[in-house]
Amino acid sequence: VYVEAGAFLDMYDVYVHDNNATMHGGAVFAEDSIVVKNSVFTDNVAGVYGGALYINGTSSAVDDLDVSDSRFYNNTAMQGAAIFHENAALIVDGSEFIDNKVVGKYNGEWASGAILSTSRFDISNSKFYNNKAEYNGAAIYYYAYEAGDSSIVNTEFVDNVANNNYGAIYAYGARYDVSLSIEDSKFINNRANNSYGVIAFTGTDLTVINTDFISNEASNYGAVYFYTYSDEGKLTVTDS
Protein backbone atom coordinates (compact mmCIF):
# COMPACT_ATOMS: atom_id res chain seq x y z
CA VAL A 1 0.00 0.00 0.00
CA TYR A 2 1.34 3.44 -0.96
CA VAL A 3 -0.17 6.57 0.59
CA GLU A 4 0.98 9.80 -1.07
CA ALA A 5 1.24 13.18 0.67
CA GLY A 6 -2.20 14.72 1.12
CA ALA A 7 -3.96 11.36 1.32
CA PHE A 8 -5.02 9.52 4.47
CA LEU A 9 -5.23 5.84 5.30
CA ASP A 10 -7.35 4.11 7.96
CA MET A 11 -6.65 0.40 8.53
CA TYR A 12 -9.22 -1.32 10.75
CA ASP A 13 -9.42 -5.07 11.38
CA VAL A 14 -7.00 -6.09 8.66
CA TYR A 15 -4.49 -8.94 8.45
CA VAL A 16 -1.39 -7.99 6.46
CA HIS A 17 1.24 -10.69 5.91
CA ASP A 18 4.10 -11.90 3.73
CA ASN A 19 4.74 -8.68 1.83
CA ASN A 20 8.16 -7.54 0.64
CA ALA A 21 9.63 -4.18 -0.41
CA THR A 22 13.11 -3.73 -1.83
CA MET A 23 13.57 -0.43 0.03
CA HIS A 24 10.97 0.94 2.50
CA GLY A 25 7.63 -0.17 3.92
CA GLY A 26 7.21 -3.92 3.51
CA ALA A 27 3.43 -3.61 3.89
CA VAL A 28 2.69 0.15 3.89
CA PHE A 29 4.64 3.20 2.64
CA ALA A 30 2.83 6.34 3.84
CA GLU A 31 3.76 9.97 3.30
CA ASP A 32 0.82 11.25 5.31
CA SER A 33 -1.53 10.37 8.17
CA ILE A 34 -2.24 6.75 8.96
CA VAL A 35 -4.50 5.17 11.59
CA VAL A 36 -4.11 1.47 12.40
CA LYS A 37 -6.59 -0.24 14.71
CA ASN A 38 -7.13 -3.88 15.67
CA SER A 39 -4.89 -5.17 12.89
CA VAL A 40 -2.12 -7.74 12.49
CA PHE A 41 1.14 -7.38 10.56
CA THR A 42 3.22 -10.51 10.29
CA ASP A 43 6.17 -11.76 8.20
CA ASN A 44 6.59 -8.54 6.23
CA VAL A 45 10.06 -7.54 5.00
CA ALA A 46 11.63 -4.26 3.89
CA GLY A 47 15.13 -4.09 2.45
CA VAL A 48 15.90 -0.90 4.41
CA TYR A 49 13.29 1.02 6.49
CA GLY A 50 10.06 -0.21 8.08
CA GLY A 51 9.46 -3.94 7.80
CA ALA A 52 5.70 -3.48 8.21
CA LEU A 53 5.08 0.31 8.18
CA TYR A 54 7.15 3.18 6.80
CA ILE A 55 5.54 6.46 7.85
CA ASN A 56 6.95 9.81 6.75
CA GLY A 57 4.55 12.59 7.74
CA THR A 58 5.61 15.02 5.04
CA SER A 59 2.28 16.85 4.78
CA SER A 60 1.60 19.90 6.97
CA ALA A 61 -1.82 18.36 7.67
CA VAL A 62 -0.30 15.52 9.66
CA ASP A 63 -0.86 15.67 13.40
CA ASP A 64 -0.64 12.27 15.06
CA LEU A 65 0.03 8.84 13.64
CA ASP A 66 -2.05 6.33 15.62
CA VAL A 67 -1.55 2.61 16.15
CA SER A 68 -3.86 0.86 18.61
CA ASP A 69 -4.87 -2.68 19.57
CA SER A 70 -2.63 -4.13 16.86
CA ARG A 71 0.00 -6.86 16.58
CA PHE A 72 3.36 -6.85 14.83
CA TYR A 73 4.95 -10.31 14.59
CA ASN A 74 8.13 -11.47 12.87
CA ASN A 75 8.67 -8.45 10.62
CA THR A 76 12.17 -7.66 9.32
CA ALA A 77 14.12 -4.61 8.11
CA MET A 78 17.51 -2.94 8.43
CA GLN A 79 15.97 -0.06 10.41
CA GLY A 80 12.65 -0.26 12.25
CA ALA A 81 11.66 -3.90 11.87
CA ALA A 82 7.99 -3.19 12.56
CA ILE A 83 7.65 0.62 12.21
CA PHE A 84 9.90 3.35 10.84
CA HIS A 85 8.39 6.72 11.66
CA GLU A 86 9.37 10.37 11.20
CA ASN A 87 8.03 13.94 10.97
CA ALA A 88 4.91 13.62 13.16
CA ALA A 89 3.94 12.40 16.63
CA LEU A 90 3.53 8.63 16.96
CA ILE A 91 0.92 7.24 19.35
CA VAL A 92 0.90 3.50 20.14
CA ASP A 93 -1.63 2.00 22.55
CA GLY A 94 -2.55 -1.56 23.45
CA SER A 95 -0.28 -3.15 20.86
CA GLU A 96 2.25 -5.98 20.71
CA PHE A 97 5.65 -6.17 19.03
CA ILE A 98 6.96 -9.73 19.10
CA ASP A 99 9.83 -11.52 17.32
CA ASN A 100 10.67 -8.60 15.03
CA LYS A 101 14.24 -8.50 13.72
CA VAL A 102 16.51 -5.75 12.45
CA VAL A 103 19.48 -7.00 10.48
CA GLY A 104 22.36 -5.73 8.38
CA LYS A 105 23.78 -2.28 7.74
CA TYR A 106 22.67 0.59 5.46
CA ASN A 107 24.73 3.70 4.58
CA GLY A 108 27.02 2.95 7.49
CA GLU A 109 24.13 2.68 9.98
CA TRP A 110 23.71 -0.47 12.02
CA ALA A 111 20.34 -2.16 12.36
CA SER A 112 18.16 -0.74 15.13
CA GLY A 113 14.71 -1.00 16.71
CA ALA A 114 11.41 -2.80 16.30
CA ILE A 115 10.22 0.82 16.27
CA LEU A 116 12.56 3.48 14.93
CA SER A 117 11.31 7.02 15.47
CA THR A 118 12.84 10.41 14.69
CA SER A 119 9.92 12.34 16.20
CA ARG A 120 8.29 12.32 19.62
CA PHE A 121 6.13 9.37 20.65
CA ASP A 122 3.70 8.17 23.32
CA ILE A 123 3.55 4.42 23.90
CA SER A 124 1.13 2.89 26.40
CA ASN A 125 -0.34 -0.46 27.46
CA SER A 126 1.86 -2.36 25.03
CA LYS A 127 4.28 -5.29 24.91
CA PHE A 128 7.71 -5.68 23.32
CA TYR A 129 8.81 -9.33 23.50
CA ASN A 130 11.80 -11.09 21.95
CA ASN A 131 12.76 -8.42 19.43
CA LYS A 132 16.33 -8.51 18.14
CA ALA A 133 18.80 -6.00 16.72
CA GLU A 134 22.48 -5.81 15.91
CA TYR A 135 22.82 -2.38 17.55
CA ASN A 136 20.99 0.42 19.36
CA GLY A 137 17.78 -0.72 21.03
CA ALA A 138 16.09 -3.95 20.02
CA ALA A 139 12.63 -2.65 20.96
CA ILE A 140 12.78 1.14 20.42
CA TYR A 141 15.40 3.35 18.80
CA TYR A 142 14.59 7.06 19.11
CA TYR A 143 16.93 9.37 17.18
CA ALA A 144 15.47 12.83 17.69
CA TYR A 145 15.44 15.33 14.81
CA GLU A 146 13.55 17.90 16.89
CA ALA A 147 12.84 18.90 20.49
CA GLY A 148 9.98 17.16 22.29
CA ASP A 149 8.73 15.09 25.19
CA SER A 150 8.06 11.36 24.77
CA SER A 151 6.52 8.85 27.12
CA ILE A 152 6.21 5.13 27.80
CA VAL A 153 3.45 4.03 30.21
CA ASN A 154 2.36 0.59 31.43
CA THR A 155 4.44 -1.23 28.86
CA GLU A 156 6.45 -4.46 29.13
CA PHE A 157 9.87 -5.12 27.60
CA VAL A 158 10.82 -8.78 27.87
CA ASP A 159 13.62 -10.84 26.27
CA ASN A 160 14.72 -8.16 23.81
CA VAL A 161 18.33 -8.50 22.67
CA ALA A 162 20.77 -6.10 21.03
CA ASN A 163 23.94 -7.87 20.05
CA ASN A 164 25.86 -4.69 20.76
CA ASN A 165 24.56 -1.40 22.22
CA TYR A 166 21.52 -0.72 24.40
CA GLY A 167 19.32 -3.76 24.92
CA ALA A 168 15.70 -2.54 24.90
CA ILE A 169 15.61 1.24 24.33
CA TYR A 170 18.08 3.73 22.90
CA ALA A 171 17.03 7.39 22.89
CA TYR A 172 19.42 9.93 21.38
CA GLY A 173 18.57 13.62 21.49
CA ALA A 174 21.91 15.30 22.06
CA ARG A 175 21.27 18.19 19.66
CA TYR A 176 17.81 19.06 21.00
CA ASP A 177 15.81 19.55 24.20
CA VAL A 178 14.53 15.99 24.38
CA SER A 179 12.92 14.33 27.41
CA LEU A 180 11.63 10.82 28.01
CA SER A 181 9.43 9.56 30.84
CA ILE A 182 8.89 5.87 31.64
CA GLU A 183 6.16 4.98 34.12
CA ASP A 184 4.47 1.82 35.47
CA SER A 185 6.48 -0.39 33.12
CA LYS A 186 8.58 -3.56 33.30
CA PHE A 187 11.97 -4.51 31.87
CA ILE A 188 12.67 -8.22 32.26
CA ASN A 189 15.53 -10.33 30.91
CA ASN A 190 16.64 -7.87 28.21
CA ARG A 191 20.26 -7.96 27.03
CA ALA A 192 22.88 -5.73 25.47
CA ASN A 193 25.59 -8.22 24.71
CA ASN A 194 28.55 -5.92 24.18
CA SER A 195 27.78 -2.48 25.58
CA TYR A 196 25.65 -0.20 27.74
CA GLY A 197 22.35 -0.70 29.51
CA VAL A 198 18.87 -1.94 28.89
CA ILE A 199 17.87 1.72 28.58
CA ALA A 200 20.36 4.23 27.17
CA PHE A 201 19.43 7.90 27.03
CA THR A 202 21.39 10.84 25.66
CA GLY A 203 19.31 13.99 25.97
CA THR A 204 17.95 16.41 28.56
CA ASP A 205 15.72 14.69 31.13
CA LEU A 206 15.01 11.02 31.76
CA THR A 207 12.34 10.21 34.36
CA VAL A 208 11.61 6.66 35.53
CA ILE A 209 8.65 6.10 37.88
CA ASN A 210 7.30 2.89 39.42
CA THR A 211 9.12 0.69 36.94
CA ASP A 212 10.64 -2.76 37.52
CA PHE A 213 14.04 -3.88 36.24
CA ILE A 214 14.51 -7.64 36.62
CA SER A 215 17.32 -9.92 35.37
CA ASN A 216 18.58 -7.59 32.64
CA GLU A 217 22.16 -7.90 31.40
CA ALA A 218 24.73 -5.68 29.71
CA SER A 219 28.51 -5.53 29.54
CA ASN A 220 28.26 -2.15 31.30
CA TYR A 221 25.47 -0.48 33.28
CA GLY A 222 22.93 -3.29 33.25
CA ALA A 223 19.76 -1.24 33.80
CA VAL A 224 20.12 2.44 32.76
CA TYR A 225 22.83 4.49 31.04
CA PHE A 226 22.22 8.25 31.16
CA TYR A 227 24.27 11.02 29.53
CA THR A 228 23.32 14.66 29.05
CA TYR A 229 24.85 17.55 27.15
CA SER A 230 22.71 20.05 29.07
CA ASP A 231 23.79 21.79 32.27
CA GLU A 232 20.20 21.38 33.44
CA GLY A 233 19.69 17.77 32.35
CA LYS A 234 18.85 15.20 34.99
CA LEU A 235 17.96 11.59 35.67
CA THR A 236 15.08 11.02 38.11
CA VAL A 237 14.20 7.52 39.36
CA THR A 238 11.28 7.08 41.76
CA ASP A 239 9.69 3.94 43.27
CA SER A 240 11.60 1.64 40.92
Give per-residue pLDDT as tens, 6-34. Answer: 777 899 999 999 999 988 989 998 877 78
- Chain segment 53-108, per-residue pLDDT in tens: 998 876 555 556 899 999 999 999 988 999 998 887 889 999 999 999 988 766 65
For residue 146, the model assigns a pLDDT of 77
SS3 letters across the chain: CEECCCCCEEEECCEEECCEECCCCCCEEECCCEEEECCEEECCEECCECCCEEEECCCCCCCEEEEECCEEECCEECECCCEEEECCEEEEECCEEECCEECCEECCEECECCEEECCCEEEECCEEECCEECCCCCCEEEECCCCEEEEEECCEEECCEECCCCCCEEEECCCCCEEEEEECCEEECCEEEEEECCEEEEECEEEEECCEEECCEEEECCCEEEEECCCCCEEEEECC
- Chain segment 162-220, per-residue pLDDT in tens: 887 667 888 877 667 888 999 999 999 988 877 666 787 777 788 999 999 999 887 76
Q: What is the pTM of this model?
A: 0.92
- Chain segment 118-151, per-residue pLDDT in tens: 888 999 999 999 999 887 788 898 887 777 889 9
